[in-house]
Structure 1
């Protein structure tokens, strides 16, 4: 049975990586085909080893196909609940319920809304942002789960940033069943219809909201109150990015949430207490064995805690495993570890086939499988501190291939950090936090907060070590598979021939570096950062960044959310030169985050750099002025605009730094936000040297830029428009698109095609987009 379940999981995984889903007829045929195949298999299974093996192979094939069909059918069904394109960005009146915990922020609140009635066809679940400015107030609107509201909203289909090897926001929305996003409008005035609509789900989320509010009231402004809320109700959104950086660098992120370990601990503790109390009565013992009472009590406690936590993947997995063991005990059976893990896997995928897209799915099941393998023992099981040490070291080593594939990094100080954090978080901080839910004593929270503060002193010191993290480019799948086989071989029992040689299989993955352009060529990536610009240029030995993207209204910036993760996945350890065209937030919004990462050698900008928050020395800054030029690896870089006189007389947009990059195979023009006046001056100053094969069009395709003289003067074969999906400025303007197209250029758009990848080789230019390279069935749906 476990093998069949693993085959079912492989089918689910394969379906989620399809560029296009099977049609309804195919999905209708698959179950019938499975039934016929199964009947034939039963007819063939008479006797003999060959027939038995054939039968097993057929069962695996049936399970694989069933997983593919189940995942595809669920996807087709969910995609059918779509927002019609005709309704996008139109005002729609919605009536419904605040479905989950709202996410308050500095400028407003985000929340999942369960639509009950609407003035147009809309999905059942939408994610809305309600900004304080939209209400004309200084504070964010106060929302609570279970409230029924009527308001007008402006919706759009699910759309996320699409960049190489980065988080897929559209897939995350699909998994949550959210089929549209949007914002609440100020007019007409929103109306709260009911204070609380009583339903099982709203009762749970209202309780979680009350606990979160009580924690914040008890610890106002405390540094780690977000961590305590995460441990209590599974809401991690209150943890600052700086703390998450420390947790990632030390490898303890799995502890800063309601993980499977915490659910198991609660179940075991409650079960042990219930069994101990039951044993005090001989009469009760004769009626029902204490072990069965302990199993039922532990399962009930784990279920309550899991529901309170929001039922994340690690929580689901742990609860299902506890349920399987508890049911087996109640039925007088003892299932093997493999069956327990396989049944948990099956239940998670039946409920949520999109779980295979989440890193937490692989880490959760992978860690448990490794622990079962290491601590199960071939002769005898390890116990006590030996088991703890063996388990932690084994997980640290065995998870390296997975962590490199999923995050392009792993913590080298993780064993030490976890040795400190696991006992303190699991046996001190979490129990104190959970007691604070039941007992209204502020002192419990204050004590838990103090203990976590002590832990953070050690974690921050470990995180600051120069060797704390191993970072590298995303490796090819073949090298990752070889590394996985290697760590598996390394964990085999003592006495296995050449067991230590398994470590050698990991080295190719860790030593791998991505292919760089040859001498005289370069590769440019116009990143999808929303309404803004960020460009990465790579030569044979150098790295350049042009602009750093926007600061986002909902919090964070493109530097932290896009550039830093992208550069890590691309294997960029240091930026040789960072050029910031001008000081508008859609071009410089990510600058502070990028400088804080400490990997910039030099900045070219015509404004003062932001002050560092950690007293880190700033890289040297030089002005970005016309006439400045340099050459890297056979590729020429030249600043065409502005000259020094224009800095004081032009607007921010018209004083943008314009950079031209040229190689024997082609050239690229990066034009910032220049508008018509600057375009005319640029044509006079640059003349024929303005001609370029590719242009990142000025001002995101605004109608105030890309005048006909500039379009003719550049004479580009490709025009790239970096803009946000359905942005409020309506960039790129249809007239601008037509103008470039009429001049012979192919238009490329980050809002529709994701990151644009440009290879300027020795013999020519090749262009593609990330949404074409890594196409998924949910893109544009």
Structure 2
């Protein structure tokens, strides 16, 4: 069964990485020989049938999922929707954001297979929406789409895994409340959150995170601490929390059941304990909103409970295999979630360690060995998934796991349950939980003082993690001399691959939505121009630019230039300065709290092979007129970076007879019609024009008139809204383009906005 499960997992993974679901002919061509061979060779039936049946099931699921696409006309005009608010609304400064399950569109009722989920926002803080309410909304919609870079978070994959087909915003003046559902599970979670918020505990976000699965109240700065200490799994509901609750409830109910001999004769106490534990875990998963992490653990618990109740003796690894199969059968999209791989891998590692290495050791040494081995075993997978790993996680988890699991979580859970009935009864338990979480945070802050808390290696070669992962697998296998010897031989090769190679001379244009951020690097030298936008939940400096540069092997920036102070260009600056050291900062316009030199025409810099010349501004300016215009030369190629200059600034440059010719042009002001005059474009005469703009942005950039003028001067035009991030390698007067969206995936939309390839 284990081999068959692994092959089924590989089949689903291979399928989800395809550009589209397979045709029925292709699926039949693959699966019929496997099914026939399994019928003939019964001994190999599970090995042959499991991947075949899983391929059929997953492919049908993906056909259904990809059919749920928003028609193009729905993006052109407001659409009338009717449905239910399917999540606890997330509060932000200008309103609320929530999942909405659509049942009717433009008064037309959808069948069950046609119903879909949207992620909607409304920008009226004075109007409070609640989970479970039924509304008729008028909304502006767009298909599921997100920024896409070569490293970092894939928003479209996250939407697909959560069954979201589009997003939009609600026009409440044209909307209508239809019905209330105070008995919905999400409404109960929202009520608990509101009551807890009224108590004003300092660690409300953590209490909500480990009890009802709401973590929006945890500040971004604390998420950084939990990530760098490797304790994120403790502050959100995970399989460990669910298993702990099941064990505690089963233990208490089983002990109480034994007090009655009649009840024990009717149903043995061990069976009652098993059923009660699973029901308790099911209830806990419910108040957590049936998140993907809790559903995974529920399946594993269900397999264990069913096997014990039916007196079936299953090996531990068979239990894990059945849980994986159940999860893939119900939701094949689970393979897109990092938690799926991390949780099941952690369980397998723990089982492998428990089988052969820990039973002869003292309990305290077992705990240390287990935590250290688990952290090392998970290291390749963690870096592969997130691009970084915590080097202090073995030490921090040794303290944090028992504290949060056996002190904070039980107190918080008991307090939240009592909160449903009485705030007075709940307050002492919640106060103690809050105090315990304060001590937890204090300990994590102390761990953060240790050097090298977070490790982010360069990720040039994706195969560099193959040998470390294989080393871990061989180390976990039952002991034999050749396996251990092989693992030792693999380590030098793994260390050799971890050496940071020098990246080629490249222009990196990041996809930051409606904004600008790019980098030019050659050898060990790095120039960054603009840092992208910042909002309440998104900081391009910390979430896009810094992770990408560290993935390339850079630990610092030689020259950071910010064209002007607009938020879509300078929003990520503070975060980037916190993440990476910068030798020199130049600003086209002064920014409060940032120590920097002004950007002025005539400045020149030599960064290895990169020649940088500032062409504008000539004097101090404000707003878009202050934009720092820069020409960079590298490997026989010239790049003109223009910020948000308008036709007036373009005319000033032309009036001074400045040489503006360039091979690559960053189109001014994201393609606004107030820029990119015909004379300016003729003077630049670019071979390649790059537009950095957001998908279906409110300004409708780039404007058709600008695209016509770009077409008139010839050359190629690219738009990050359609191609995602761009990687342009520069060599001997030639360039080679790689776009992030050039790798099609089943979850990824392929859009063709103006200025596309």
When normalised by structure 1's length, the TM-score is: 0.90
Consecutive unaligned residues of structure 2, counting only runs of 5 or more, are 109-113, 420-425, 752-757
1:420 to 392, 396, 399: 399
Q: 2:214 aligns with which of 217, 235, 238?
A: 235
Q: Secondary structure at the match of 2:618?
A: coil
1: CA distance, partners of 2:263 / 2:366: 36
- Provide the residue aligned with 1:563 in structure 2: 545
Are 1:341 and 2:324 matched, yes or no? no
Task: Give 1:657's aligned residue.
Answer: 628
Cross-structure match for 1:528:
511
Q: 1:101, 1:144 within 8 Å by CA — same for their partners in 2?
A: yes
Q: 1:362 aligns with which of 334, 338, 341?
A: 341
Shift of 1:210: 1.4
Rounded to whole Å, the distance in 1 between the matches of 2:292 and 2:346 is: 13
Determine if contact 2:225/2:448 at 8 Å carries over to the other structure.
yes
Distance 1:686 1:225 in 2: 62
Query: Which digits, 9 at most, give the CA deviation of each residue in 1:603-658, with x for residues without a partner?
Result: 111334443xxxxxx6x5211111111122222111111112xx24xx51122001
Counterpart of 2:117?
125
Unaligned runs of 5+ in 1: 46-51, 133-138, 612-617
- Give how far 1:141 is off: 3.0
Following superposition of structure 1 onto structure 2, how do residues 1-20 of structure 1 map, counting pairs within 5 Å? Answer: 1-20=1-20
Question: Following the alignment from structure 1 to structure 2, what is the Cα–Cα distance between the partners of residues 267 and 149?
Answer: 37
The 1-side partners of 2:191 and 2:630 are apart by: 54
Q: Whole-Å Cα distance in 2 between the matches of residues 736 and 517 of structure 1?
A: 34
Q: Which residue number corresponds to residue 636 of structure 1?
A: 611
Bigger Cα displacement from structure 2, 66-75 vs 120-129: 120-129
CA contact (8 A) 1:92 1:120 kept: no
Deviation of the 1:673 alpha carbon: 0.5
User: Per-residue CA shift, 1:244-268, capped at 9, x if unaligned?
Assistant: 0000110001111111111111111
Give per-residue Cα distances to partners, 1:341-370, cap 9 Å, x unaligned: 001111111112111111111110011100
1:580 aligns with 2:567: no
Q: Which residue of 1 aligns with 2:83?
A: 96
**1:692 is paired with a residue of what secondary structure?**
coil
Equivalent residue in structure 2 for 1:624, among 574, 582, 599 = 599
- Measured after TM superposition, the shift of residue 165 of structure 1 is 2.1
Contact in 1 for aligned 2:670/2:693 (Cα 8 Å): yes
User: Does structure 1 retain, via aligned residues, the 8 Å contact 2:640–2:665?
Assistant: yes
Q: 1:407 to 1:103 in 2, by over 3 A?
A: same
- Shift of the 514–739 alpha-carbon distance from structure 1 to 2, 3 Å rule, reads farther
Which among 183, 188, 202 is matched to residue 207 of structure 1?
188
Aligned to 1:735: 705
Query: Cα–Cα, structure 1 residues 273 and 500, in superposed 2: closer, same or farther, change >3 Å?
Result: farther
User: Displacement of 1:665 after TM fit?
Assistant: 2.9
User: In 2, distance between residues paired with 1:9 and 1:352?
Assistant: 12
**Helix, strand or coil at the partner of 1:183:** strand
Task: Return the alpha-carbon distance in structure 1 between the equivalents of residues 588 and 221 of structure 2.
Answer: 29
**Counterparts of residues 251-266 of structure 1 (less than 5 Å):** 251-266=230-245
Residue 141 of structure 1, aligned match among 127, 131, 134 = 127
C-alpha change, 1:693 and 1:776, in structure 2 (3 Å) is farther
1:543 has 2:530 as partner: no
Find the partner of 2:60 among 57, 73, 83: 73
Q: Check the 8 A contact 2:352/2:477 in 1, yes or no.
A: no
Q: CA deviation at 1:775?
A: 4.8
Question: What is the CA deviation profile of residues 726-764 of structure 1, one whole-angstrom value per residue up to 9, with x for unaligned ones?
Answer: 001110111111211221121100001101111111241
Give 1:496 shift.
3.5
Distance 1:320 1:686, change over 3 A: farther
3-state SS, counterpart of residue 19 of structure 1: coil
Change (3 A) 1:516 1:191: same
Which residue of 743, 746, 749 corresponds with 1:779?
Answer: 749
- Residues 1:446 and 1:483: Cα distance change in structure 2 (over 3 Å): same
TM-score, normalised to structure 2, is 0.93
More moved, 158-167 vs 764-773: 764-773
For 1:614, the equivalent position in structure 2 comes to none
Q: What corresponds to 1:512 in structure 2?
A: 498
Q: How far apart, in 2, do the equivalents of 1:248 and 1:464 lie?
A: 14
**Counterpart of 2:111?**
none
Q: What's 2:754 paired with?
A: none
2:440 alignment counterpart: 455
Q: Which residue of 2 aligns with 1:300?
A: 279
User: 1:703, 1:733 within 8 Å by CA — same for their partners in 2?
Assistant: yes
Once the two structures are superposed, what CA deviation does each residue of 1:675-707 show, in whole Å capped at 9, x if it has no partner?
1010011123353x3111111100000111110
Deviates more, 1:597-606 or 1:746-755: 597-606
> Secondary structure, in 3 states, of the residue corresponding to 1:368?
helix
CA RMSD of aligned residues (A): 2.3
Mapped partners of 1:660, 1:69: distance in 2? 55
State how far apart, in whole Å, the 1-side matches of 2:250 and 2:732 are.
69
Counterpart of 1:749 (choices 695, 719, 723) is 719
Task: Determine if the alignment matches structure 1 residue 245 to structure 2 residue 224.
Answer: yes
Question: Which residue in the other structure is 2:662 paired with?
Answer: 692
Q: Aligned residue for 2:423?
A: none
Indicate conservation of the 8 Å contact 1:92/1:119, yes or no.
yes
1:193 and 1:146 map into 2 onto residues whose CA distance is 11
